[in-house]
Structure 1
Amino acid sequence: MKKKLGLTSKIFIGIFIGIIFGLIIKGMPSGTLKDDLLLNGILKVLGTGFISSIKMLVVPLVFVSLVCGSSSMGDIKKLSRIGGKTLFFYLITTAIAISLALLVGILINPGAGLDMSGLITSKPTIGESQSLTDIILAMIPSNPVQALASGEMLQIIVFSLLLGTSMSMIGEKADPVRKFFESANEICMKMVSLIMLLAPYGIFALIANTFATTGFEAIFSLIKYMFAVLLALALQVLIVYSGMIKIFTRLSLKPFFKKFANVAAITFSTASSNAALPVTIETMEDLGVDNSVASFTLPLGATINMDGTAIMQGVACIFIAQLYGIDLTIGSFLTIILTATLASVGTAGVPGVGMITLSMVLTSVGLPLEGIGLIMGVDRLLDMARTTVNVMGDCACTLVVSNSEGELDKSMYYGKKEGELVAINA
């Protein structure tokens, strides 16, 4: 029997055929066949239909997944010092990651020189610059139902976190509601997987439409976008994670990166934080982290710590804004940072969900979702890299927290006996 093609292979085939088909259409003379039947007919139905399917899932998926993620943290009172340190570390590193991504995006300008403003199907709604006070106040929903209906993403995030945290504090009394949301989350994830089956066809149409309009210019912009994301991911690892480990633990980085290679092999091949979780826990215990710390910080990180995904979202926002000639305000940048940071809480650690949360971030600042079609063409490659960074952030946090709590066996970390460890520290 022939081995069936996986979704990733189908997407790459769709990209390749879409590029060729788009360039063929670009060379065709204007007329009924090109404009009405192909561009505004078949390709529009497939491409716009796929984008609309993604839009359809944004609000329910974010709402349900955030409630599940925040309600599964356990008894808030028992989080104590370890819980507080872990949550603080994860939120701070995610905020740094998205800020770093915006800075890299602004410096590299991945979407500059490619004008796709004529492909926008809906008018963008970038608002006037708001003060930080106004942004914070706008995050509090006066009517949660209205926020859900109108897709006010920051308000939905705040309400979801409040609801999930309250469920966690109540404990067993909230079990019926918790089970409902867990079932709803499974349903939402299944809907995502079903819609992703349409991805090869939707991406084919979007890529074909892009190349039929812009030609080879789109390839150079995509290369710049990929370079910007990979550069920001590398800076997050080399500066943020490495710096925090050195500053807060005074440990050598070599044992950490050497042992993490085992985890990276899993994360890079599966693009899933959850799939790598058993290996991640085992690796951190081999590095001397006590199980009581690793078994708490790592599963929590797989749920709420998505630095790599936040970096992709930051660069993507700059990329898409430049593609469509839209100027982002200071208020827009602050909204992106807040939305991407808060959206990392509850995001499922499985492949493909980053595109759904990107839709949410784009929606929060009124950027057109059509740009996602171009990004999805190369997202699988970037997904593997950013998932590896996501998990490395979990491990760095675990190392820092365990060391601060005196739960790190440094002799195991260096793979040395106690006597040899004294010599190393000396």
Structure 2
Amino acid sequence: MNKRKISLPMQILIALILGVAVGLLCFFTGTADFTTNYLKPFGTIFVNLLKFIVVPVVLLSMIDGIISMDDMKKVGSVGVKTVAYFLVTTAIACVIGLVFANIFNSAGLFPTLSLEEGAVWEKATSANFMDTLVGIFPSNMWDAFVKANMLQVIVIALFFGGAILAAGEKGRLCRDIVSSFNEVISRLMEFIISLSPIGVFTMMAWVVATQGAEILGHLALVLLCAYLGYIVHAVLVYSLSAQVFAGMNPIRFFKGAAAAMIFAFTSTSSAATLPVSKECAAELGADDDISAFVLPLGSTINMDGTAIYQCVATVFLATCAGVHLTMGQMVTIVVTATLASIGTAGVSGAGMIMLAMVLTAMGIDVNLIMIIYGVDRLFDMGRTCLNVTGDISCALCVSKWEQDKAKKNAK
């Protein structure tokens, strides 16, 4: 008989509950040192594996995402408009996420934790714009990899992806090698993600044992902050763009997209939602050929929900570590998230990978990611729903733009 395997999200949920229970038990019995000495090291191993995989995942998935778009010449203006729409809305999503996170932080709703004696949090200094711009471009490719300088890694990926496309048929071998390596790294990433329940249990038990039940209330607040960002972005950006650019009433837009939004919310998979998204887009009036291009591309590169999540999470975790993010660092978050949206979304566990990437760029200990990873599924439901809504909105807008262009050329 085949035994039904417990899904990974359910495993993580069980690990979260057990971790909280063990943490509270150790907190009230005064045995928090047990979690520090015997449980946290296993969580640290898991986080080290995350750090190990971040650079190759970002590098290879971005290059692979760029070279897979070689049919952009065929689709011409449709591809340019689609990518531009996704990048602009992602940048706006980052700003919305940072605004809400700073409002919550200013109100004293995000805590500063005393996590461990001797812990050192690197506080990056604020640099002017030109220094930041110069620092984006690497002088040594390997140095960027070793130091996990994520903006430089992204630039390297953009350069190599563009060069492979420019090489045409002579770059075929490089294209195949990148695709093959990306598939291998993706499988390795899946294995590391499968260890999540261990990391969640050990780190959650340690955090709760050392901080008490108060940390659970703070997690509820950071969830509230993220969902407020999701809702505001959907209403202000997606429905407004559908109304302004596609001439569609916001109520009709949300009503037509509701089936895909609900499916995405429950499945937490943009790819699995594609058939429903196509039906919704067609019902709302998007051209079938444009939807066939925009929606699959959107499931790969449209990461507005993830952008809001990682901005909120970064500010929250920075506050936990006692790090004050400067305006320059917040601009860096926006640039990093927007550029990273080109390729990382297609990777399993992309939200956590991007968050680890941003924390690294900000000089914040990646170990802190485990404070909120236990409730990542709750974040994921909202951000996937938002991503799919954005895909449908983009399909409608691009369809309208192409229809207007065709009418103008027909005159």
State TM-score, norm by structure 2.
0.93
The residue that corresponds to 2:273 in the other structure is 276
Q: Counterpart of 1:244 in structure 2: which amino acid?
A: S
Select which of 357, 360, 374 maps to 2:357.
360
Gaps of 5+ in 1: 410-426
Q: Counterpart of 1:154 in structure 2: which amino acid?
A: L
- 1:56 paired to 2:52: yes
Inter-partner Cα distance in structure 2 for 1:353 and 1:113: 24
Pair 1:89–1:299, CA change in 2 (3 A): same
The residue that corresponds to 1:246 in the other structure is 243
* Contact 1:272 1:351 survives alignment (8 Å): no
Aligned-residue offset at 1:407? 7.4
Q: Secondary structure at the match of 1:406?
A: helix
Q: Counterpart of 1:88 in structure 2: which amino acid?
A: A
Pair 1:78–1:138, CA change in 2 (3 A): farther
Pair 1:276–1:85, CA change in 2 (3 A): same
Pair 1:107–1:45, CA change in 2 (3 A): same
The residue that corresponds to 1:385 in the other structure is 382
* Contact 1:86 1:401 survives alignment (8 Å): yes
How big is each residue's C-alpha offset from its partner over 1:290-346, in whole Å with a ceiling of 9 and x where there is no partner? 233122222221221100000000000110011111111111101111111111111
* Contact 2:305 2:386 survives alignment (8 Å): yes
Select which of 238, 259, 262 maps to 1:262.
259
Q: Counterpart of 1:240 in structure 2: which amino acid?
A: V
* Contact 2:302 2:345 survives alignment (8 Å): no
Aligned-residue offset at 1:282? 3.5
Inter-partner Cα distance in structure 2 for 1:171 and 1:284: 34
The residue that corresponds to 2:67 in the other structure is 71
Select which of 41, 46, 66 maps to 1:45.
41
- 1:286 paired to 2:286: no
How big is each residue's C-alpha offset from its partner over 1:264-299, in whole Å with a ceiling of 9 and x where there is no partner? 233122211122223323432333322331222222
How big is each residue's C-alpha offset from its partner over 1:213-242, in whole Å with a ceiling of 9 and x where there is no partner? 111110110010000000000000011111
Inter-partner Cα distance in structure 2 for 1:88 and 1:180: 28
Pair 1:18–1:235, CA change in 2 (3 A): same
* Contact 2:186 2:347 survives alignment (8 Å): no
Inter-partner Cα distance in structure 1 for 2:114 and 2:128: 28
The residue that corresponds to 1:418 in the other structure is none
The residue that corresponds to 1:8 in the other structure is 9
Aligned-residue offset at 1:138? 1.2
Alignment of 1:22-421 (within 5 A): 22-29=23-30, 35=33, 38-109=34-105, 112=109, 114-119=111-116, 123-349=120-346, 352-406=349-403
Inter-partner Cα distance in structure 2 for 1:122 and 1:176: 46
Aligned-residue offset at 1:398? 1.4
Pair 1:325–1:162, CA change in 2 (3 A): same
* Contact 1:124 1:366 survives alignment (8 Å): yes
How big is each residue's C-alpha offset from its partner over 1:165-191, in whole Å with a ceiling of 9 and x where there is no partner? 222333333222112111211111211
Q: Secondary structure at the match of 2:363?
A: coil
Q: Secondary structure at the match of 2:76?
A: helix
* Contact 1:112 1:323 survives alignment (8 Å): no
Q: Secondary structure at the match of 1:118?
A: coil
Q: Counterpart of 1:323 in structure 2: which amino acid?
A: C
Q: Counterpart of 1:13 in structure 2: which amino acid?
A: I
Q: Counterpart of 1:94 in structure 2: which amino acid?
A: T
Q: Secondary structure at the match of 2:366?
A: coil
* Contact 1:267 1:384 survives alignment (8 Å): yes
Q: Secondary structure at the match of 1:273?
A: coil
Q: Counterpart of 1:61 in structure 2: which amino acid?
A: V
Aligned-residue offset at 1:121? 7.5
* Contact 2:111 2:218 survives alignment (8 Å): yes
* Contact 1:122 1:368 survives alignment (8 Å): no
Aligned-residue offset at 1:408? 11
The residue that corresponds to 1:421 in the other structure is none
Inter-partner Cα distance in structure 2 for 1:93 and 1:237: 10
State TM-score, norm by structure 1.
0.89
Aligned-residue offset at 1:125? 2.3
Inter-partner Cα distance in structure 1 for 2:119 and 2:153: 23
The residue that corresponds to 1:416 in the other structure is none
Pair 1:382–1:111, CA change in 2 (3 A): farther
Gaps of 5+ in 2: 407-411
Inter-partner Cα distance in structure 2 for 1:58 and 1:121: 26
Pair 1:395–1:169, CA change in 2 (3 A): farther
Give the aligned CA root-mean-square deviation in angstroms.
Answer: 2.1
Aligned-residue offset at 1:27? 2.6
Aligned-residue offset at 1:112? 4.1
Inter-partner Cα distance in structure 1 for 2:256 and 2:149: 42
How big is each residue's C-alpha offset from its partner over 1:352-392, in whole Å with a ceiling of 9 and x where there is no partner? 22101110011011112122111111110210110111111
The residue that corresponds to 1:419 in the other structure is none
Q: Counterpart of 2:227 in structure 1: which amino acid?
A: L
